[in-house]
Structure formats: C-alpha cells, structure tokens
Amino acid sequence: MTEATAFHEAVFSLLRDVSQNIILPHYQSLTSDQIDEKSPDDLVTVADCLAEERLAEGLARIIPGVPIVGEEAAHADPSVLDRLSGDCWIVDPIDGTNNFAHGRPPFGILIALASGGAALSGWIYDPLTDRLCSAHFGNGAFINGKRIYTRISGADLPVAAISTQYMDPDKRQAVMDHIAPHYSLVDIPRCAAEQYPRLALGTNDVSIFERTLPWDHAAGVLWLNEAGGKAARLDGSPYRVDEHGRTGLIGAATPELFEELAVRLDGMP
C-alpha cells in the first residue's frame, strides 16, 4: 500500500467509524432537547457536536499538528477561522443538519485538507449509502474508488438547483426573473454533500450558491473540478477557503454550462 493510499484509507475508516458509532445511532431518534437553533432555520444537534469531536481527534492522529476548522468550533469561537489561511483540516460533521434533525435524507460528512487557502484533498461521505466521493488535487475525482467524469442531464433546458435562501429579496427576485426562465428548476437538497454529486452524475447541470462557507464547499468544489466540471466564483476566479466573508458560487457539470450561467448572472440588472 502506498503512502497516499494509506492516507486516504485512514480518512475513509474515520468517516465510517463516526458514521456508524455516532451519526446513524442518532438518526431518527433525536429528542427535542438534543436539537438546538444556532440562528433562524440553522440547526445543530448533539450528533453534530459529538461527530465533530471524534473527527477532530481522528484527523489529529492521521496528520499530527495540523489545525482543524470545524463548523461547530467556528460557531462557538469565530477566531478558529483564522486557521483557514494556512495548513488545516476543514470539517462539516453533518452537512444537511436540518434534514438530519427532521429524520430525513440527504445528509453527509464533508472533510477537506487545505493549504494556503486552497483545498488539496476532499471527501464527501453519505452515511446512508456508504458512498464516498473523494478527490486529491491534480489526481481526478472518484466515487468508491472508481474514477468518474461529469455528465450532463440531457434535459431540453439545463437542470438548475438554485439556492436563494441567503439572497437579499431584490437579488432573489432578479434571479427568478432573469435566470430561472432559461433553466428547468428543481428543489435544492439543502445539503452540499448531495448537491455536488448531483452536479457530476447527470442529475443537475448547474447550481448557484449564495452562502459559501468553507466546510460546505471546500471538498465539493475540489471534487467537481477534478471530475471535469467547474465550480468557481461568479467572476470565474477560484474558490478559496479563506475568503469566508465572500458570497456567490457557481457549480456546473461542464465549463461551458458554467460560462453560460455566469454571463447571465453578470447581465442581471
């Protein structure tokens, strides 16, 4: 086994351990006192906190000394975000917590290893199906060890999942008026761990994300780009994990679909 393979397998083993011993035992069995609201419509559960602790402990053993930026740790102490400019692990212990808290899929675990603001490795794990999407910069994208390449839906109008939840009302209306007519709109899954695979596997063709927090997007952006799609800022610039105050991101199954959507967004009044 090569060093790279051993590294990947160690992360995969950790993901499965946390899934089987923490996340799935709480799925559909949470009590009301195990669910809290960080902000309106933004939930956290006891499973999120326990899973992040276990993941942080495991990642610290895999590469000792690398700082960890966890979603829940950053919520408790925003200074944690300062670690994003250097070497760091980025952890979303349960992506899609609102779904998880209500006892429904999809939800997943997102982990990225970043350096200098860019993700170098990423893992997107679905505990319910044991699907692992993984990518290492410059080495392609994989699902359960098999290399994959993006494909389009083939629909008459490209299929778009547009997240307008965090847009201001004027921008939301402009998107609906000027962008939506050119696409076949579908509901968003409220789970980046599901949205990125949909963009690669022919389910969705494009997505617009307004909020672009690093634990939601670091792994998915890397994975989609390595699969042959394109995920980047609206102006085409690369997504950086240390630009945590910046909004706006496009994900697309192909660079051509990305450019078409970016031009339309740029032309909005």
pLDDT per residue over 177-226, tens digit each?
A: 999 999 999 999 999 999 999 999 999 999 999 999 999 999 999 999 99
Average pLDDT, the chain: 96
pTM greater than the 0.85 cutoff: yes
Exposed e or buried b for every residue in 141-177, given b needs 16+ CB within 10 A? bbbeeeebebbbbeeeebbbbbbbeebeeebeeebee
The H or E element containing residue 36 is strand 35-39
Q: Is the pLDDT of residue 118 over 70?
A: yes
Residue 245: per-residue pLDDT: 85
- Evaluate whether 218 touches 114 at the Cβ level (below 8 Å): yes
Q: Is the pLDDT of residue 1 over 70?
A: no
**3-state class (DSSP) for residue 17:** helix
- Evaluate whether 125 touches 15 at the Cβ level (below 8 Å): yes
- Give pLDDT tens digits for 3-50: 788 999 999 999 999 999 999 999 999 999 999 999 888 999 999 999
Instruction: Name residues whose C-beta falls within 8 Å of residue 207's C-beta, 6 or more positions apart in sequence.
Output: 160, 161, 162, 163, 188, 195, 199, 250, 251, 252
Domains of the chain: 3-148 (3.30.540.10), 159-266 (3.40.190.80)
Q: Is the pLDDT of residue 110 over 80?
A: yes
d(CA 218, CA 229): 15
- Give pLDDT tens digits for 160-176: 999 988 899 999 999 99
Residue 269: per-residue pLDDT: 81
- Give pLDDT tens digits for 23-36: 999 999 999 999 99
The identity of residue 259, as a single letter, is E
**Alpha-helical runs (H) found in 30-123:** 46-62, 71-76, 97-101
User: What percentage of the chain has pLDDT greater than the value 70?
Assistant: 100
Residue 257: per-residue pLDDT: 98
Read off the tokens for 185. Answer: 């709109």
By residue count, the chain amounts to 269
